[in-house]
Structure 1
Amino acid sequence: MQDLRNLIKPGVWIIAIAFIASIAFMYGRSAFQGGSQESLVEVNGVAISYQDFLQVYQDVYARYREQLQEEISAQLEQYLKSQVLVEMIKNELLWQEAKKAKIKVSQEEVKEAARETMRPFGSQEAFMRFLEYRHILYSEVEEDIKKQLIINKLTQAIKSSTAATEEELKNHWITQNERIGVSYVVVKPEKHKDGIEVTKEELQEYYQEYKEDFRVPEKVKVDYILIKPDDFADKVSEASKEELENYYQKNLSYFSIAEERRASHILIQIADTTNPEDDEKAKEKIEEIEKELKGGTDFATLAREYSQDSASAEKGGDLEFFTYYEMIPSFSEAAFSLEEVGDVSEIVKTPFGYHLIKLTGIKASYVEPFQEVQERLKQMWKDEKSEALAQEEANNIRKEMEEKSTSFEEYIREHPDR
């Protein structure tokens, strides 16, 4: 992304973040989008399809337009297209090198990154609704996040081991400091002011037409006192074991770990969800696969051969462990209604198409034991008590000011750090 950083102004850097998000959520998603998979370019034999490129470009274009609040020029549009393609090629090259280097990331790293991805949405449920709206499977998101983490590790390793030669430093200095001479003519509007006469009526008309340009926005001046909970942390006494145990019992929901299930699935896409014929074709195909399955063919073998979820198909359809809210409701409802490991669902329809789901593992819900969460409990206790002391201080200040026993200025003099 360094080339992109150098070309984009800091004021619109959020667009670059949108660019990364687009790559992460759309790249490699051809199995879910339908439509033409004509190859646009190949990177060491790996095709980047026109459909993949179009999905990323459309997303980046929309975000650019939203950010700039204006029509995008033909020149900028061409620049965006080239940058999207360049970034997709770079991403694929880095991914290929990362696989050669056998760089790994843990499942915990992936889950933590996924949690950070969900954070701006406010809740896991909101994030899943967003994915459902965009017709994106959570398993694909996790796979993209995993790829990006691996690529990040590779690029970090490259940066850490790279040293610039004297020749490279010289070339960089020349690039940054090279100057060229130009000739130009400046026509200053100020020179023509004296020759223009404006009548009072014209001024009045101009004023009325552009009246909003002269509007002075409302302004307020405020003084404030900042009461920070952290300032009261040293006043919080250490909680006794009995207090911690009682606090633990009152906050068990914080330590409840939801049930997780592991499943494999076979997905057959509906090419055009608005076309009944395409729907019927997809349904017929999944029914044929179901017959093969009931005839004794191995589920994983069928998934590798037929499933259009590219991320899981190569793993025999395996989605690894997930909670109920990590998948869209229609999928989770089917997966969590299966009773025993090895059970296979009836045909399930979701916004992505038709699925067969096989339950392969269950991790029962549980509450983390007190002994394992004591340190977190202590911090939660301290944070809560500090917050309470800060709130009490704020209430006392307000009361004293209302009763005129102190003034805003007096308090500021006594507590200059606030």
Structure 2
Amino acid sequence: MTRVASAVAAAAAEAHPRIVGALIRMTGDWDLAEDCAQEALATALQRWPSTGVPDNPAAWLMTTARNRAVDVLRRARVERTKLQDLAVLGSPEPGAADTFADDRLRLVFTCCHPALSLEARVALTLRTICGVPTADIARAFLVTEATMTRRLTRAKTKIAQAAIPYRVPEGPALTERLPGVLGVLYVLFTNGYNADGSPAFADEAIRLTRLLRTLVPAPELSGEIGGLLALFLFQHSRRAARRSPDGRLLTLEQQDRALWDHAAIAEARALLDGAGDGPYALQARIAAFHTTDGPTDWAGIAACYDRLWARQPTAVIALNRAVAHGYAHGPSAGLALLAQARAGGGLDGYPHAVAAEADLVSRTGDHARAASLFRSAAALAHSPAERDALLERAGAEDAEA
């Protein structure tokens, strides 16, 4: 049974978005597609222990989901043309892999359509493409399952009512829409990588970014996709070392680098070779500086942040740029840039801005003020792990004062 469950899980990870995408293309019904895909998985768990795992599990699931959709549509007396369309979705024929790939790409771009709110795009991506249970998505967004169900329903209704096309944009439209898709994947990864986030979300973001890079091979577009994937891999490579045995968050300097995933780091470095100089590629280059065995090249990091700031002058990038300059050129330089960042707005009540100031002030030697600032940052922290880490820093500053 364990072997069968593993086979079903592997087939689901590989085939679920293809099945859902194909059924949406044929029926236009999102709920029906998702329900039939889930029922196919449940049927596999029931039958495979006695019949054995089929030679082509993905094709078996596709056929089972298709047959279930045919049954539902027949009972509902829907248009004969839809039944005829579904009839061609039997076992994969030559060229079917390309059709399934197109379906997955259509699904990604439809879920990430700019007509939907960012939260709806992320939630719909998790539910429809990744197959994450609604209850798990609700917990990530700190809402009830019923609330999340309503939000997902509204998103699907908006797709139908606004006649959002179920297709991949072409030419300039693809170039224009791609940043929005990458932004959804970035938010999805961040949700999983945060101190108290679900690692599964980060894993799904990496999987979908790999898929997107495969399905959008155009060199002028694949570079930034590769940059985003490199960024995810650099960050995720350190997950096993981020906490101490007793659960405390550890800084980079405190982490046991033997616990880092060095294969992921090597893959990320290789991706940077063709990643260009886009915003995600620049962030990945910054992450690369943090994964070396020798001293951190803060001057290189500061230079990357200067280029990133020129392209995306956001409050968070301004904050990180100030920190980098503080380490590269001294705490006074960092505090000056931090003051400029605050004047630009967007950092009020942001715990990481207060913590960054505390760290820079500590490096000037004013440990008493640094301790006070760390406590202020802890009061603003969004997660218990971050709050505990900041209070620990405050205690260390008190000891130095």
Query: What is the TM-score of this pair, normalised by structure 2?
Result: 0.23
Select the structure that is richer in strand: 1
> Structure 1-normalised TM-score?
0.23
Q: Which has the higher helix share?
A: 2
Rg (Cα) greater in structure: 1
